[in-house]
Structures are given as C-alpha cells and as structure tokens.
C-alpha cells in the first residue's frame, strides 16, 4: 500500500512538472539563480558534477560548466540547453558507485516520497566529496536533517530564500 501511494505521489509530481515546463524558466529563473548564488558562490567546482533534479537546466547555464543533469520530467529536460541530460528517477540513479565529485540538487528533495535519495547520492559520490542541496522550507520535514546526517556531515546550513540549504560532506562508507 505504502509503495502504491509513493508511486502515485511521484506520478502526480511528474505530471505537474511536465505541465509547467513551458513557463518554468520565466517564473522561477530569478528565484533559482539567487539560491545557486547563495549556495555556490566561492565554491571551486571541478571534476564530475551531477545536477540532481536538474529540471530545465538552469543550474548548468548559471555555472557555465559541464554538468550531468538527471530529471524524471521529459518536458523539463527537453527545455535544457545542456545536452548531458538523463531521464531518470532521483531515487534510483543510473550510475556506478563512487563516480561523482559533486552532487548539486536544488529544490528537489521536498518532492520525493522518502529519503532514499540520500543513500543514492552517498553511493555515487566519491569519498570525502560534497553534496549541496536545498529544499523548499514550507514543505520541510524535520526528519530530512536527521536522515541526511546518517550519510553526511553537515558543514553549513543556510537560509536560501524560500529554501533551506545544506552543504554536506560524504561520510566514509
């Protein structure tokens, strides 16, 4: 029953983003850019970078760097100028373990039915690398931080407009 409800929740969210792809950038660009700047300015990003829940690819435009984007909404992905994009579910990432230097994820996690994603992110990150994420505060679940801390040390928690942001280091596996 739990899994059926989770699958339904995901389906609804996917439909919602598929429908909002046409106006997403004009409505949210400034808001998202502000979050990127607050979380990433001054950070030296290099190596293999994953943008998890990449949507229309605004983060790769902002960074002007090669990043791999993963999102489960085909319409959002189609809007992306970044051609390194993969249609996939954040909870079941199509990557080998220990392959990324950074995972960045803006305003994704509040959409997910569980915190399985944190395990997946830790699995694909190389040891001692960074996971930078924000999640929408109005949908913030207090358990998020507790779950995050199982696999990551939180280096910084930041007020990020409508989101709360975390910069985290992957703990040893």
Ligand X SMILES: C[S@@+](CC[C@H](N)C(=O)[O-])C[C@H]1O[C@@H](n2cnc3c(N)ncnc32)[C@H](O)[C@@H]1O
Q: Which residues bind ligand X (CB under 6 A)?
A: 10, 13, 17, 28, 32, 53-55, 58-59, 71-73, 76, 89-91, 106-108, 111-112
Residue nearest to ligand X (CB): 55
Strands 100-106 and 49-52: parallel
In sequence order, the β-bridge partners of residue 85 are: 69
Q: Using the minimum distance from each CB to ligand X, give the nearer residue, 30 or 172.
A: 30
Residue 120: how many CA atoms within 13 Å on its side-chain side?
A: 18
Q: What is the nearest approach in angstroms of ligand X to the Cβ of residue 123?
A: 15
Q: Using the minimum distance from each CB to ligand X, give the nearer residue, 8 or 128.
A: 8
Q: Give me 92's structure tokens.
A: 């079941």
- Let me know the angle formed at the C-alpha of 146 by 3 and 73, rounded to the nearest 5 degrees: 45
Nearest CA to 130 out of 34, 8, 48 is that of 48
Q: What is the nearest approach in angstroms of ligand X to the Cβ of residue 105?
A: 7
Q: Using the minimum distance from each CB to ligand X, give the nearer residue, 114 or 153.
A: 114
Q: What is the nearest approach in angstroms of ligand X to the Cβ of residue 172?
A: 27
Do 115 and 6 contact (CB within 8 A), yes or no?
no
Q: Using the minimum distance from each CB to ligand X, give the nearer residue, 89 or 101.
A: 89
Q: What is the nearest approach in angstroms of ligand X to the Cβ of residue 117?
A: 8
């Amino acid at each position: 029953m739990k899994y059926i409800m989770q699958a339904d929740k995901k389906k609804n969210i996917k439909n919602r983003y598929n429908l909002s792809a046409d106006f997403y950038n004009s409505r949210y660009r400034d808001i998202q850019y502000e979050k990127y700047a607050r979380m990433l300015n001054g950070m030296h990003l290099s190596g293999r970078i994953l943008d998890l829940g990449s949507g229309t690819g605004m983060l790769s435009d902002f960074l002007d760097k090669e990043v791999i984007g993963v999102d489960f909404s085909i319409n959002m992905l189609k809007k992306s100028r970044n051609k390194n994009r993969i249609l996939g579910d954040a909870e079941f990432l199509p990557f080998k373990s220990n392959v990324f230097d950074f995972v960045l994820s803006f305003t994704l996690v509040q959409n997910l039915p569980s915190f399985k994603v944190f395990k997946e992110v830790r699995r694909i990150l190389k040891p001692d690398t960074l996971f930078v994420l924000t999640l929408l505060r109005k949908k913030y679940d207090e358990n998020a931080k507790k779950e995050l801390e199982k696999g990551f040390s939180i280096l910084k928690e930041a007020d990020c407009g409508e989101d709360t942001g975390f910069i985290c280091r992957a703990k040893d596996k």
